[in-house]
Amino acid sequence: MATQALFDIGNVFLEPSSTFARLKAKTHAWLPLALMIVLSVGLMYWWISTVDFPWLVDRMASAQAKPEVQAAMRQMTQKSMMVTTVIGAIIGSLIVYALTAVYYLIAGKVLGSDIGYGKWFGFSVWTSVPRLLAMPLSVFQIMSSGGHVVAEDLNMVSLNYLVLHLPASHPWAGFANGIDLTSLWCIFLAVIGLKAWTGRSTGTCVTVALLPYVILYGLWAAKIAFLG
């Protein structure tokens, strides 16, 4: 089972249609889930351990507009940041996969599917596997930075890093950092997977795969545009 799951991490890139058709019977998503969480935690731990921490705190605090927030950030220690970042990476990932699975469960019911929540949780994990491809770039960024790299620059495939280069203090910086090339690949895999699991048309599957991104980024953009 572990061997097949390991092969499927590669197969999901090379033969996504047949791979998702096979995963419908048994998702065995524990391996890609564990791999993504462990690598993410390891990457964050390494980054915080090697970064010039006083420099990082100064950069992070300077990006905040409110003096009280700046003061609170300057009180942060390397250990406290390590703990909150690692816990956030683990819990945050699980929450995202869980909520994504709820969305696909509801969408599946609308499409006439009787697939259960557990399998949709596995589906949400497998469609996120392309995020592994950006990790070697993050490793290169940490190794070549000389200890001077902020968190947002670890994602070298984001819209902000590749094109816009907005400073952290810019209202649209977070939005631009949240859009990256791996997200597009995740959407593509979701379309392929939905077709394999539900048998619905390409147009329908594209709509289902895109809808959460449209809603999330639409609300985010509206918040920035109207509230700053």
* pLDDT tens-digit map of 85-112: 999 999 999 999 999 999 999 999 999 9
Where are the domains positioned within the chain? 2-227
Region 202-217: what's the mean pLDDT?
97
Quote the DSSP letter at residue 153: G
Residue 68 above 90 pLDDT? no
> Which whole number is the average pLDDT over 152-174?
93
Q: What is the pLDDT of residue 3?
A: 75
Q: For residue 100, give both structure tokens.
A: 């994504």
Would you say residue 173 has pLDDT above 80?
Answer: yes
- Burial, 154: exposed, middle or buried (Cβ in 10 Å; 0-12, 13-18, 19+)? buried
pLDDT-derived band at 70 (thresholds 50, 70, 90) equals confident
146: pLDDT strictly greater than 80: yes
Alpha-carbon torsion, ordered 155, 29, 45, 143, to 10 deg: -50
Q: How confident is the model at residue 1 (pLDDT cuts 50, 70, 90)?
A: low
Q: Where are the alpha helices (DSSP H) in the chain?
A: 2-14, 16-23, 30-50, 53-62, 67-74, 78-110, 117-126, 135-144, 159, 173-178, 181-198, 202-227
| Mean pLDDT, rounded, for 111-135 | 96
Give the pLDDT of residue 128: 97
Residue 153 has pLDDT above 80, yes or no: yes
Give the span between the Cα atoms of 154 and 44, in whole angstroms: 10
Percent of the chain with pLDDT over 70: 99
pLDDT at 134 over 90: yes
Residue 85: name the closest of 154, 1, 23 by CA: 154
Q: Give the pLDDT confidence score for residue 131 in this predicted structure.
A: 95
The confidence score (pLDDT) of residue 186 equals 97
Say if residue 2's pLDDT is above 90: no
Looking at every residue in the chain, the average pLDDT score rounds to 94
Q: List, for residues 26-65, the tens digit of each pLDDT value.
A: 999 999 999 999 999 999 999 999 999 999 999 988 887 6
Question: 188, exposed or middle or buried, with CB in 10 Å at 0-12, 13-18, 19+?
Answer: middle
pLDDT mean over 65-92: 90
